[in-house]
Amino acid sequence: MKKGIVIAMLLMLAAGSLVWAQTMTITYWQYFYESKVKLMDELIKMFEQQNPGIKVEQVTFPYESYNQKVAASIPAGEGPDIINLFYGWLPMYVKAGYLQELPPNEFTKAYFEKNYYKFVAESVDFNGKYYAAPTAVRTLALLWNKKLFREAGLDPEKPPRTLDELAAYARKLSKYDGQGNLVQAGLAMQPTGQGHNWIREVLFRQFGNEPYSADYRKVTYADDKGIAAFRWYTDLIVKDKVGYPNFATDDVTAFRSGKAAMNIDGSFRIATLNAIKDLEWGAAELPSHNGVKSNYASYWTHAIVAGVSGKKLEASVKFLKFITSPEVQELWLKNVGELPASPALAAKYKDNPVYAPFFNGLAYAHASQFVDEAGQRTILVDAVDKVWLKKVDPAVALREAAAAEQKLIDDFWKK
């Protein structure tokens, strides 16, 4: 009798272990963006079918409160196992102790060099260690409204190819009312949108400047070449008056509503623009300058939170490998509009008139490393506002911005 009871208890324990194995749960956090959330729900179903011993719970928060939630939850041990974060936050997250190094035997330097664009491999490396892996990347292109081109007597199939052409087209496409107020922007000028990235990663470099030192610890964009680039940008606002910040609410709204003829925007906008029935638009590589091409690349990436270990770590690594696989990267392009993070997939879209310009831009894109992405962005945006609203000379405004950003970087590394 006793032997039977012992056997029964052993069977119950075994069954309990099996149930535990089947209900191993890991938690994934990302900010709320409808197309991403919907796709992730589907991906989780696929992953769970392939891995019956693992369950994944997706939790989302508004973008505006995402970092605050992370800062409050992870140190308290109440956060996720895997987290989605903007690449520009990586140094801040690592330094705060939120993340752990990806298993070096799984995520080697060779792994990143083989499977990702060069700028990804460089920007997920923090002090020689890899902390994150992305599914998709973003880059910029020139978007133009073909109908407005036609109305202005311009060929709707031939966007400007150089900065000189871009400025000339923008002047021709701008419209004003009887009092001289802008009613149609030739080119949307929104530094809080992608304008600050266009200045930092594209215009500075096209005018012959490198915005930062190789280790990103020194700000170097306030030399004569950087000032020339910044002046070219601000002149479009204050002298040519082809657009200005917050015209028609913002650049995205202005372009979508046909009140801006051209805009510099990211590949993440493709799905939104394709959904607008009456908008006849095209995308082209960013205009070059003196034969120099440049672009900005960014991405949201996935990392494993500090403290995750044992079976949860194994499950988290499996899920991370799954959501960064080539198959998922292509689903991401189809459902979200962001580009696959693997250059091997780009060849499939070389003849697509919408995707190809963005993919082409990735070949010469840069992704600067930030210690405080929001703070560094605000400094450059404020510099434009000084020129536009306070009539500060562009050279003065840019030098002040460089000094402020240098202090921010120095303070980060001193702590």
pTM: 0.85
For residue 82, give both structure tokens: 């895997």
Question: Can you give the pLDDT at residue 13?
Answer: 46
pLDDT tens-digit series, residues 294-340: 999 999 999 999 999 999 999 999 999 999 999 999 999 888 888 99
> In whole numbers, what is the pLDDT of the chain averaged over residues?
92
pLDDT tens-digit series, residues 369-414: 899 999 999 999 999 999 999 999 999 999 999 999 999 999 999 9
Q: What are the Cα distances from residue 209, in Å, to 197, 203, 229?
A: 14, 9, 9
Report how far residue 195's alpha carbon sits from residue 112's, in angstroms, rounded to the nearest whole number: 29
Residue 286 Rama label (left phi>0; alpha psi -120 to 50; beta): beta
Handedness of CA 302, 88, 334, 343 (dihedral sign): negative
12 falls in which pLDDT band (50, 70, 90)? very low
Question: Can you give the pLDDT at residue 10?
Answer: 47
State mean pLDDT over 168-191.
97
State mean pLDDT over 216-235.
98
Report how far residue 306's alpha carbon sits from residue 67's, in angstroms, rounded to the nearest whole number: 16
Question: Can you give the pLDDT at residue 271?
Answer: 81
Q: Where does residue 228 rank: exposed (0-12), middle (13-18), buried (19+ CB within 10 A)?
A: middle
User: Is 255 a residue whose pLDDT tops 90?
Assistant: yes
Residue type, 207: F
Report how far residue 329's alpha carbon sits from residue 343's, in angstroms, rounded to the nearest whole number: 11
Q: Answer whether 285's CB lies under 8 Å from 360's CB.
A: yes
Q: Which of these, 411, 200, 375, lies nearest to 296 by C-alpha position?
A: 200
- Residue in this structure with the two tokens 């990103």, named with its chain if needed: 216
- Residue in this structure with the two tokens 């070449």, named with its chain if needed: 225
Question: Can you give the pLDDT at residue 112?
Answer: 93
pLDDT tens-digit series, residues 204-221: 999 999 999 999 999 999
For residue 271, give both structure tokens: 């799905």
Q: Which domains does the chain have, with CATH numbers?
A: 27-138+298-366 (3.40.190.10), 139-295+369-414 (3.40.190.10)
Interhelix angle 224-238/163-173, nearest 10 degrees: 10
Question: Can you give the pLDDT at residue 1?
Answer: 47
Question: Can you give the pLDDT at residue 15?
Answer: 47
SS (H, E, C) the chain: CHHHHHHHHHHHHHHHHHHHHHCEEEEEEEECCHHHHHHHHHHHHHHHHHCCCEEEEEEEECHHHHHHHHHHHCCCCCCCCEEEEEHHHHHHHHHCCCECCCCCCCCCHHHHHHHCCHHHHHHCEECCEECCEECEEEEEEEEEEHHHHHHCCCCCCCCCCEHHHHHHHHHHHCEECCCCCEEEECCCCCHHHHHHHHHHHHHHHHCCCCCECCCCCCECCCCHHHHHHHHHHHHHHHCCCCCCCCCCCCHHHHHHCCCECEEEEEHHHHHHHHCCCCCCEEEECCCEECCECCEEEECEEEEEECCCCHHHHHHHHHHHHHHCCHHHHHHHHHHCCCEECCHHHHHHHCCCCCHHHHHHHHCCEECCCCCCHHHHHHHHHHHHHHHHHHCCCHHHHHHHHHHHHHHHHHHHHHC
Question: Can you give the pLDDT at residue 18?
Answer: 47
Q: Answer whether 121's CB lies under 8 Å from 131's CB.
A: no
152 falls in which pLDDT band (50, 70, 90)? very high
User: Is 17 a residue whose pLDDT tops 70?
Assistant: no
Residue type, 277: K
- b/e map 37-70, b = 16+ CB within 10 Å: eebbeebbeebeeeeeebbbebebbeeeebbebb
Question: Can you give the pLDDT at residue 4?
Answer: 55
User: Is 21 a residue whose pLDDT tops 70?
Assistant: no
